[in-house]
Amino acid sequence: MSGLLLGCSASASAQSTQISTEYLMTVHIPTERKAIDNGLTVVNILPGGWIKGPRISGKIIAPGGDWIRTMPSGSLRLDVRMTIETDDGALIYMTYGGVVVGSKEAGEALARGEILDDKGFPYFITTPQFQTSAEKYGWLNQVQTLGKMAEYKRAKNEAYVNYDVFIAR
């Protein structure tokens, strides 16, 4: 009996699938930090945001926000909600969670107003999901996507984050 159990656990731990990705779009999100309290930061998403990709483009419309929780380890957990209006008038609700792991160097660079790319953070990954009743974009209701921070700036007069978003397959 134990030989049978050992055989099962060995095959259960072997990788049998892989994930591939397909580029969906780049998202530009202008932000404004509004409140910080006991490990919670609330960030408004400002006008001027946009999305651009091979099959979809449009703008981000109000309201939108990000509720960022600081974990005991110092990592950040994102909770973002926004609405996209496509160039052809469709409305798409976009929400995502994510994890950000910063570093002392990244914090110092941001404090100086520098723009950081994806190499500026040890980890900055999101999991966008979509909901729409627009028939043309209904396929978005059926996919899970992954986002990776491409550019981030946090200064008093200008703050934004750009993500490249990919469909996971």
From first to last of the 169 residues of the chain, give the pLDDT tens digit.
555 555 555 566 799 999 999 999 999 999 998 878 888 999 999 999 999 999 999 999 999 999 999 999 999 999 999 999 999 999 999 999 999 999 999 999 999 999 999 999 999 999 999 999 999 999 999 999 999 999 999 988 899 999 999 999 9
Beta strands (DSSP E) in the chain are 21-37, 40-45, 50-52, 57-70, 76-86, 91-101, 116-117, 123-126, 129-131, 145-154, 159-168
Residue 121 is assigned to a structural domain of this protein: yes
Instruction: Assign residue 53 the CATH number of its domain.
Output: 2.40.160.20
pLDDT of residue 59: 98
pLDDT of residue 10: 54
Residue 25 is assigned to a structural domain of this protein: yes
Domain count, the chain: 1
Residue 10 is assigned to a structural domain of this protein: no
pLDDT of residue 112: 92
Longest dimension (CA), the chain: 68
pLDDT of residue 157: 85
Residue 1 is assigned to a structural domain of this protein: no
Q: Strand 76-86 relative to strand 57-70: parallel, antiparallel, unpaired?
A: antiparallel
* Contact (CB, 8 A) for 123 and 149: no
- For residue 102, what are the domain limits? 18-168
pLDDT of residue 153: 95
pTM: predicted TM-score of the whole model, two decimal places: 0.88
